[in-house]
Structure 1
Amino acid sequence: MELDLSYMAYVRKFVSDFIARGLPLNILINNAGIMAPPFTLSKDNIELQFATSHIGHFLLTNLLLDTMKRTAKESGREGRIVNVTLNGHKFTYSEGIRFDKINDPSG
């Protein structure tokens, strides 16, 4: 199944389609999204890298969590959520994430 994490409507549609298939879900791997694109806003007006690499993964995980819990209960096997990232955390601002400038080209 194809998924674009930069647009929350796509994430919601993906989850809806996945759940409709009735498949079990034991593992979810949230792989890093994009790194250092030119400043762009997503369709949701969120800075594209933040939307894709953070918000999209958060929403995906949140919407699939009940499916994972149900699968674990039915199969007797605990599920796993793995978050993978790039080493971009090494290139942060000294004050950390500038949440007040998240959609600002200088942020």
Structure 2
Amino acid sequence: MIRHLVLFKLNDGVSRDEPRVVAGVEAFRALGGQIPELRFWECDWNITDRPIAYDFAINSAVEDTDALQRYLDHPAHQDGVAQWREFSTWVIADYAF
């Protein structure tokens, strides 16, 4: 199994309640039911307010590197990424477990 973690930081001046952010969150929340490769899916806002904290997180798992690539290439994932690209930056980590 591969764990796929993503941490998002909203760009300066962008707030959680902006319509484009709300739409981006909904797009990511829906992925768990849209992409068959996902064995585990959760995402939500960070609940802490520290200077080094990121704002939003995705924690997911897939079977193997081929499944990870299919997830990354899936149109619904690509749509969500395109939305988030407009108002945030992110870091990822993928590891076997």
**Shared fold (TM-score, shorter chain, > 0.5):** no
| Larger-Rg structure | 1
TM bin, normalised by shorter chain, reads 0.3 to 0.5
Of Structure 1 and Structure 2, the greater strand share is in 2
Of Structure 1 and Structure 2, the greater helix share is in 1
TM-score (norm 1): 0.30
